[in-house]
Structure 1
């Protein structure tokens, strides 16, 4: 993932909301809680805020919030991913599922899910109909699927050209002849 200030995908990922519990009273910050009736945000309030804000509030000393994992990265979803990640509607879980997961401590779940779904994407890249029939994909999966489909089309076109067939390099052929001659001498 590109953690660049000007990276559009990073901006979209850090705008995803994460659940946080405020550890201290914050004056004049009640607007962060849509259900708040007061101007101040009280300690113990649970609010979903953008990741960029949660990171900056957590980085303060002492931290102002306790950042929790979004529900899609918790144990109940881990069981679903372990059972069959290929049947999950990744776009419904979040368009930036993998990228957001990289910010948390769920790297093993992200890796296993990505590995299962990558195999599915790779096999479906041969046919664009297969990709369209799959569950809705996350943003990075769509990018991977379109790149795989382009690569498959380019390979097919290259193979159909037939103007430069693959042959054994002369260096390899000569090496084999020398080895064969050496083996015959023994």
Structure 2
């Protein structure tokens, strides 16, 4: 996880999300990873959901021990729904860290469709995000947003408030900076010389 932020709580939560993996080799004494296993050993070909941080480290070895599969929220069925109308999807229920997890998973997507879905989903949901940032009903508008969308909407609401407050003050009109005024005078003097 070279692009991870070591001190980010969000990154820690994302890296603890479970992803489906297929083990490529027999692993002795690792049967406890598969709850349905009857042996102490984990056999090659076994499909198990393990945390992303463990899957990444097992996959990045010179001889990979696992093949990481796409979680169901990034597979064709959900991609079709998100590409059709992403604004109808409740991201909070689907996955709170949809975009962050998608960034990690995108490098394991051979077709490259996960990255396109992330971009298209954000483009479609941008208007919803703007509405949530200026809405007076903050609870209702924030409900279907993912954790990162909520963070961006809250930051946009703070900025919107600051701009509104500044515009309402109205007692400090904008003035030309001295540097700009002096520059104009110098230019005029140079033009008069010719």
**So what's the TM-score if we normalise by structure 1?**
0.84
Correspondence list, 1:16-27, <5 A:
16-27=17-28
Q: CA offsets, 1:137-170, max 9 Å, x none?
A: 2110110111111111111111111122346779
Q: Which runs of 5+ in 2 are unaligned?
A: 107-113, 188-194
In 2, are the aligned partners of 1:131 and 1:145 still within 8 Å (CA)? no
The answer to which of 124-133 and 24-33 deviates more is: 124-133
Q: CA offsets, 1:60-99, max 9 Å, x none?
A: 1211111001111111111111111111011122111000
Matched, 1:89 2:90: yes
User: Counterpart of 1:76 in 2: which secondary structure?
Assistant: helix
| Partner residue in 1 for 2:47 | 46
Cα RMSD over matched residues?
2.4
Q: CA offsets, 1:41-63, max 9 Å, x none?
A: 11111111000000011111211
User: Counterpart of 2:137 in 1: which secondary structure?
Assistant: helix
Find the aligned partners of 1:130 and 1:86 in 2 and give their Cα distance: 17
Correspondence list, 1:33-112, <5 A:
33-105=34-106, 106-112=114-120
| Partner residue in 1 for 2:166 | 158
User: Counterpart of 1:163 in 2: which secondary structure?
Assistant: coil
**How far apart are residue 39 of structure 1 and its match?**
1.3
**How far apart are residue 126 of structure 1 and its match?**
1.4
Find the aligned partners of 1:85 and 1:136 in 2 and give their Cα distance: 11
In 1, are the aligned partners of 2:131 and 2:141 still within 8 Å (CA)? no
| Partner residue in 2 for 1:123 | 131
**How far apart are residue 128 of structure 1 and its match?**
3.3
In 2, are the aligned partners of 1:26 and 1:40 still within 8 Å (CA)? yes
In 1, are the aligned partners of 2:132 and 2:141 still within 8 Å (CA)? no
| Partner residue in 1 for 2:8 | 7
User: Counterpart of 1:21 in 2: which secondary structure?
Assistant: strand
Matched, 1:143 2:148: no
